[in-house]
Amino acid sequence: MSTDRWGIDDSWLDALDTEHTVDRATIDRLREVIGEPPADLEETAPIVAVPGDALEVDHAVVVCEDGTSIDVDGELPADVPLGYHRLRTPDGRDRLLVVHPGRCWLPEERSWGWAVQLYAARGRGSAGIGDLADLRTVRELAESQGAGFVLVNPLHAVGPGPEQEDSPYLPATRRFRNPVYLRLDDVPGVQLTDDDRARAAELNGAELVDRDATWAFKRAVLQRTFDADPDVAGFRDWWWHQGQPLQDWANWAAIADEHGANWPDWPADLRDPRSDAVRAWSTDHEPQVAFHAWLQWLLDGQLAAATGDLTVIQDLPIGVSGGGADAWAWQDVLAEGVSVGAPPDAFNAKGQDWGSPPLVPWRLRAADYAPFVESIRATMAGAGGLRIDHVMGLFRLWWVPGGDPTAGAYVRYPAEDLLGIVALESHRAQAVVVGEDLGTVEDGVREAMAEHGVLSYRLLWFEDDAPAEWPAAAMGAITTHDLPTVAGLWTGSDVAEQVELGTGEPDQLERDRQQLLAHLVDAPAGPSRRMGPGKAVERAHALLATAPCLLLSATLDDALGVQRRPNVPGAMARPNWRLPLPVPVEDLAGHRGVRDVVRALGVSSAGRSGTGSS
């Protein structure tokens, strides 16, 4: 395998180490999309380094973030401050210098925690969807049980229109949050009528999470509340201090209300976020723009109340919608006519197309990594943790031209720079970072993660080794939102659903199930097949507790004996991302399954020495 100067690999290895050659037409198309970088890119692109690193410049000046200056000659001083500085050379060049600590921040003590799909965690005061007040309830429960963290699905915003995107992994932005998660009762100045409360109760009693109906109801109440007092104390000053990123989001959302949530379909003069037309539109529609900024102000306050002092690990999707706000703001950095996905593998013979346009590596460097920095920083903000979905994307991404994942190729990214930025943002936010390194992981990725303090992600359903043999620098878990729950696996209902959906061959699905079950029934003191799913759940978590991983994660789905997984990839007719938990969050503490998991996982892992370091 070789990589050309566009960063395109001419071949790739599948999970069985079989090499596949990339079609010449694919390479030619991707070269066209990537384009030629400027001739002086290597002299103008950011330098990402640690204190003491050698620099290929002499007699330069580092202008630090705080305005102070440091003379450098050949290498960075060991005491240079961390941060985003400017490096100025005698020939007049001025470029970004990112100084990072080399490793992400890590907690000193081992801990366990709950993983929860927030939309599913409805409480008695919800309005059809789990919200930030429900997250506060889960967080308070976790604290009372001795847990050290809560892991949540991506909370990023989607388009503001009546048809809401169900998948949390295809947001309009990775910098701002989804107002559907607001608790109406906690909004300053809100006045809910009897009809409002009746509608909220009706939505909450629905069998499935209906985002369209929930957002229509919440938006009407929120709009009414904002119109009554658009200058509520504290909001305007907060908005001003957020700068251009929030202005861009609010502009996009307000224009999307009028022209739809796909910016390439807008009138031509509104497609450039820096145009005079957009500035004029924003001024003429100030109340509409202010409304969307106000929603983010509310979310900022409610998230802070929800997370409290506990680490809440937020999920960072691999990308964003091509018609969304981030794609609008950074359209010059994104590849046009291409999306990211995965090549064919044992789980999907046709490959996968995730629908997000990729960042062009050289354009990302030329933009001083701003799209990446802002996305990482915003997702960490106010929570204390980050899970990077498909962390292999920091190294390479499978680019899909023309919608056919089988005709794609891997494109390389500046992984060392990106990992350095993650380490800096982690250090500043005191946030633990987990990389989702599941599936086909090329050689060197996990080693680089470990070197930079990014925790690996180990699953009982994926690992051949017993949990006791897993690495300490990892988050250990049993399953994820895309894989079977313990109860679904144990009873066979997960296989039955997949057969019904046509997402796999019955014989192969059953073989896969038996292979996964072997983790439980072949283990010492494992449950017999005559035992119920509750015993299987307890045994699975007792096994997980033997792992030396820094973080151990249990899902509320498993603790409650849920048989249907949150998402079956590729099953478009299924209500993916819409299945609520069967128990209100207020009743979780008294649920037997929850108590059993805490006893198996929390007590079993208590008292062991910490393995992390800062």
Q: DSSP class of residue 75?
A: B
d(Cα 411, Cα 404) in Å, to the nearest integer?
16
Rounded Cα distance between 272 and 288, Å, is 19
Percent of the chain with pLDDT over 70: 96
* pLDDT at residue 52 greater than cutoff 70: yes
Q: Average pLDDT of 372-379?
A: 97
pLDDT at 17 over 90: no
Predicted confidence (pLDDT) at residue 612 exceeds the cutoff of 70: no
Say what angle helices 211-228 and 286-307 make with each other, to 10 degrees: 110
308 located within any domain: no
Q: 172 near 159, Cβ under 8 Å?
A: yes
State residue 528's pLDDT score. Answer: 64
Round to whole Å and give the CA distance between 318 and 341: 10
β-strand pairing of 409-412 with 352-353: unpaired
Which residues on adjacent β-strands are paired with residue 246?
A: none
Q: For the segment 274-289, what is each residue's pLDDT rounded down to a tens digit?
A: 999 999 999 999 999 9
How many domains are contained in the chain? 1
CA 151 – CA 153 distance, rounded (Å) = 7
Query: What average pLDDT does this structure show over 61-74?
Result: 93
Share the mean pLDDT of the chain.
Answer: 93
pLDDT at 523 over 70: no
Q: Are strands 551-555 and 111-116 parallel, antiparallel or unpaired?
A: parallel
The pLDDT confidence band at residue 1, using thresholds 50, 70 and 90, is confident
Q: Report the pLDDT value the prediction gives residue 526, as an integer from 0 to 100.
A: 59
Q: Which amino acid is at 356?
A: S
pLDDT of residue 605: 44
- E strand residue ranges, 202-350: 311-316, 338-342
Contacts of residue 547, defined as CB under 8 A and 6 or more positions apart, other chains included, come to: 458, 467, 468, 470, 474, 476
* Angle at the Cα of 312 from the Cα atoms of 308 and 314, rounded to 5 degrees: 135
| Residue 480 within any structural domain of the chain | yes
Sheet of 47-49, strands arranged across: 47-49, 94-99, 83-88, 60-63, 69-72
- Enter the tokens of residue 89: 């050379």
Place of tokens 């305007």: 236
- Phi and psi at residue 43, to the nearest 5°: -95, -10
- Does residue 429 fall inside a structural domain? no
* pLDDT for the residue numbered 463: 92
d(CA 20, CA 18) in angstroms, rounded, equals 7
- Band (pLDDT 50/70/90 cuts) for residue 551 is very high
What is the phi/psi pair of residue 511, to 5°? -65, -45
Which of 122-136, 330-344, 509-523 is modeled with the greatest confidence? 122-136
Is pLDDT at 609 greater than 90 in this prediction? no
Count CA within 13 A, CB hemisphere, residue 283: 5
Nearest to 36 by CA among 66, 58, 5: 5
Q: Could you tell me if 166 and 368 are in contact, meaning their C-beta atoms sit under 8 angstroms apart?
A: no
Q: Which residues of 91-109 are buried (b: 16+ CB within 10 A; e: fewer)?
A: eeeebbbbbbbbbbbbbee
Residue 31 lies in a domain: no
Question: 24 with 15: CB under 8 angstroms?
Answer: no
Mean pLDDT of the region 249-267: 98
**pLDDT exceeds 60 at position 564:** yes
Which pLDDT score, from 0 to 100, does residue 320 have? 96
Q: DSSP 3-state assignment of 30?
A: helix
Q: Is residue 191 part of a domain?
A: no
Residues paired with 433 in a beta bridge: 386
Tokens of 611: 């393995």
Q: Give CA–CA dist 490/521, Å, rounded.
A: 10
DSSP output for 133-151: HHHHHHHHHHHHTT--EEE
- With residue 601 as reference, give the H or E element that holds it: none
525 pLDDT band (50/70/90 cuts)? low
Query: What's residue 346's pLDDT?
Result: 62
What Rg do the C-alpha atoms of the chain give, in angstroms? 25
- Inside any domain, residue 570: yes
Is 60 exceeded by the pLDDT of residue 215? yes
Question: What is the DSSP secondary structure assignment for residue 368, as one 8-state letter?
Answer: T
Give the whole-angstrom CA distance, residue 583 versus residue 557.
10
**What pLDDT does residue 543 have?**
94
The residue with greater pLDDT, 402 or 218, is 218
Residue 249 corresponds to which amino acid?
W
Rounded to 10°, the helix 415-429/370-380 angle is 30
Is it the case that residue 349 has pLDDT exceeding 80?
no
Instruction: State the pLDDT at residue 402.
Output: 84
Asked if 563 contacts 488 with a C-beta cutoff of 8 angstroms, the reply is yes
- pLDDT per residue as tens digits for the range 193-213: 999 999 999 999 999 999 999
Confidence of residue 146 (pLDDT cuts 50, 70, 90): very high
435 found inside a domain: no
Q: Range with the lowest mean pLDDT among 332-346, 479-493, 591-605? A: 591-605
Model pTM? Answer: 0.95
Q: In sequence order, what are the beta bridge partners of 368? A: none
Give dist(CA 475, CA 278) in Å, integer. Answer: 45
Residue range(s) defining the domain that contains residue 538: 455-614
Domain assignment present for 544: yes
Q: Answer for the pair 82, 66: CB distance below 8 angstroms, yes or no.
A: no
Mean pLDDT to the nearest integer, 235-249: 97
User: Mean pLDDT throughout 367-372?
Assistant: 98
Pairing status of strand 474-477 against strand 551-555: parallel
Instruction: Say if CB 273 and CB 328 are below 8 A apart.
Output: yes
* pLDDT given at position 529: 63
Q: Look at residue 82 and tell me whether its pLDDT is greater than 60.
A: yes
398: which strand partners?
341, 410
SS3 assignment for 497-537: HHHHHCCCCHHHHHHHHHHHHHHHHCCCCCCCCCCCHHHHH
Other C-beta atoms lying within 10 Å of the C-beta of residue 223: 13
